[in-house]
Amino acid sequence: MNRRHFLGNSVLATAVMALGSNTSNAATAPTQRLLPPSLRVGDTVGLVSPSAASDDSFNYQLAKEVLEALGFKVKMGAHVADRRGYLAGSDADRAADLNGMFADKDVKAVICARGGSGAARILPLLDYAMIRKNPKVLLGFSDITALHCALQTKTGLVTFHGPMGTSSWNRFNVDQFKRVFLERKLVEYRNSEDAGDELVQKRNRTVTISKGKARGALIGGNLTVLTALAGTPYMPDFSGKILFLEEVSEAPYRVDRMLSTLKLMGALDKLSGFIFGECTDCNPGEGYGSLTLEQILDDYIKPLNIPAYRGAMIGHIREQFIVPVGGVAEMDADAGRFRLLESVFQA
């Protein structure tokens, strides 16, 4: 599902008008981080569909098998396989599944089946007070960015931007999952090095935008979904944060427009660091010409004079990092990597 249907030009226009001079929503941001309990093999995890429906219900069976192969018992959301148009059921039912998993004492983590579009519709229906009393791992990416932002803003809960139930669970992703969740390591996120049969490695290369190191809590996710929250009480505070972004199937002019929104609302000026992942299938279209992604990032990010790089393994790619949203990290823009400085789980 292309998120441009979710965003729409009118949404951006309305959001920017509502932003005014101070749009960080710092007043709604929690003062303390909320850490989830760690996971152990044998725990029960819940599988939910907060966004779009799958085009094949067998994908949910595959997702269940993946989680079982990782060593967990699986509880399926009551409405996980529902469909209402492109959505995985009604807003009320999707929210009920998510609330129910957080309220269930036997469930230790909530895994999103897939993204697509629709998670933002259920944000007003979530029981944030209850979630804050029952913190647990939430894993997903793309449209799940809406949930990461809302939970960060309303509860302070550290959540995880990474593969979903129906994602590819290749060797890299499985290893990353085990190191983050089961071994609870302070992971260093460095792109994998594999030149293949090339004389010089071409894949998974990072490019420095601005040199230096920075520390701060990680926020971000999908650019379209994040920007669509502008002017709402679910937009996180950007002050002193390291912003990571990814995108898929968006023309460069749309990326330019969304970064312009973040700039106009004052968000970019508050960052301590910036990491851009992959912009998959974001090639210029036909017409009079287009700015390149490199030019767009140079226009918006270089003038900030903060450490920044692009090319991190974050986004709609087969092998991807599992990034703790709200986790405290240090980034090195020269080396093209970042590392966790503190545990993202309860002691």
Positions annotated as catalytic residues are 142, 246, 316
CB neighbours of residue 129 within 10 Å? 10
- Distances 76 to 104, 152, 183, 221 between C-alpha atoms, Å: 12, 25, 25, 25
Residue with tokens 């897939």: 114
Q: How many CA atoms lie within 13 A of 224 on its CB side?
A: 29
Cα–Cα distance for residue pair 320/114, rounded to 1 Å: 15
Q: How many CA atoms lie within 13 A of 146 on its CB side?
A: 24
Answer for the pair 212, 334: CB distance below 8 angstroms, yes or no: yes
Cα–Cα distance for residue pair 244/325, rounded to 1 Å: 9
- At residue 89, what are phi and psi to the nearest 5 degrees? 100, -175
Q: 238: which residues sit within 8 A by CB, 6+ positions away?
A: 24, 219, 267, 268, 270, 271
Q: What are the tokens at 308? A: 């920044």
Q: What are the tokens at 237? A: 């505070």
- At residue 221, what are phi and psi to the nearest 5 degrees? 135, -140
Answer for the pair 123, 146: CB distance below 8 angstroms, yes or no: yes
Cα–Cα distance for residue pair 193/184, rounded to 1 Å: 23
Answer for the pair 143, 246: CB distance below 8 angstroms, yes or no: no
- 286, with CB counted inside 10 A (0-12, 13-18, 19+), is exposed
